[in-house]
Structure 1
Amino acid sequence: MSRILEVDDVVKRFPVGRGMNVHAVEKVSLHIDSTETLALVGESGCGKTTLAHLIMRLSEPDTGTIALNGADITHLSATALRPHRRQMQMIFQDPFASLNPRRTVGRAVGDPMRIHRVDGEQGIRDRVAGLFDLVGLSPDDMRKYPHQFSGGQRQRIAIARALSLKPGLVVADEAVSALDVSVRARILNLMLELQAELGLAYLFVSHDLAVVERFAHRVAVMYLGQIVEMGPRRKVFQDPQHPYTQRLLDAAPIADPGERRERPLVSGEVPSPIWPHGEGPEVVGLEDLGGGHFVAPPSDRAAWRPDLSV
């Protein structure tokens, strides 16, 4: 498999006044191969969406590099970045907010092709009709507006729009978290079918471990702006090594109420990611456990800021 995305030591901090900075992303490195799904998991505020925006170049990294299909896109101008944007598209969490209520959904799906001048108007309309059929909607729906669809249907429209330029990488930021459970399953099945048919790679940002366990090939666990464990889904779920990964899995709901947890749940507030200018968290390194499984080594775990004891 070829490598479609490589992120190396990316940093993003936001000033909040009085000489303080939010350390949203701190020295993060990861990669995604073609046809692979990497799930980025962690609790709210850990930096998952910020990292997704950096990869999409919706935000500018402070330092580090982002390479797409081997090309460094970290500091490209808007004009130079334009051809690369066709290779990476995004599915947002709220499909209603991501669609213009004053434009038909057919127009919304076709606009990326118009912007990039992919084809003539008739060719674009034919392509949009094909995309609607691909995601399980009728081409007759192209003339409707976003408010005329259910949440699941709107997300199918958002998926069709993301596929309109035939990207190799799709970043899905909590793409199913706003949907009902039954609708969520259908959308996930659709995404898996599209991945198999079109050879897509996904960066799947989520806090729902049940979804991740079913959907992802590899998992990266993010906490306070850093990745503390990364590896194949089976290894991370069945043999979590970092205390934070263990706590995340312990916090997931258990289907069998009679099943006992090995560790009691941790309570308390998450440590603040805000630091004075010139200071910051200790940057953790990842130790190779073999088989593609990486974890912050014991020395880093011992110095890790949050108290993971009960």
Structure 2
Amino acid sequence: MKILCGIDLGGTKIEGVLLTLSDKGFDVLERHRIPTEAEKGYEHILQQIKKIVGHLEEKGSIKIDTLGIGTPGTLDPHTQTLKNCNAVCLNRQPFKKDLEKVLGIPIEIANDANCFALAEATLGAVPEKVPHAQVVFGIIMGTGVGGGIVINGKVLQGKHGIGGEWGHNFLHESGGPCYCGQIGCVETIISGTGLEKFYFQQTGTKRNLKEILERFKVGNDPIAKKTMERLIHYFGKGIASIINVLDPDAIVIGGGVGNIDLLYKEGVESAKNYIFNTSIDTVFLKPKLGDSAGVFGAAMLVN
């Protein structure tokens, strides 16, 4: 029986897990959460992670000799510092080196979207539905849009550490400016935030995505219908580029937008208009692991 340790570092919480792996699957040996308290600074976050690792060691009666950690940003392979973190005190910090010094053990790092993709590819929806999948693309569609690539059970980080970041590919100029400095990114159009913004621009009324979807289902709001049609059209166009490049066996769609059933039929039909093929055999899946995916994926980084 193999025991893995994973840490999911978020902007508001840090979660740790001990997983046991066997031929029959996996079990959670211990799981623990504490607040990140990012407002107290970078050094404090390192100590919070040390605290949670100590808790896991005590509860599991083991000495952790390596761990995987999912971060809200990316470790730049060239500078070995974090970038693109929403907990901004982490940016430009030599996080891996500093954490290894604090803990006295080697660590593996990936961003949260990669951890989501890895968890679903190895422990979640993919082995259950597409057991022989070699290439998996995991999507997080929520307030933003992120992605991760898993090939034969391993995360593809990429030369710049941005493998899978399809949320900042150009999709259409109607998305307007993106925080990354570009215009019309995937994220500006088919994220929950982007869809809510479109609805507001059309109506002058602020509604969250859940309300918009409900009004679409009732059928008495033409702008809600237009918003969902926009999602289907641009999801198809955006995901087709991923299929053309990666040709994945499976695509797992997480995040709040991923709960919209339209994506799995109408969205896939839309993608058929843009792929370099006559059909789509890639299997589109809802995630199985829920909010456990991040921390489970972090643990699987050291498997």
TM-score interval (norm. to shorter) = under 0.3
- TM-score, length basis structure 2: 0.28
TM-score (norm 1): 0.27
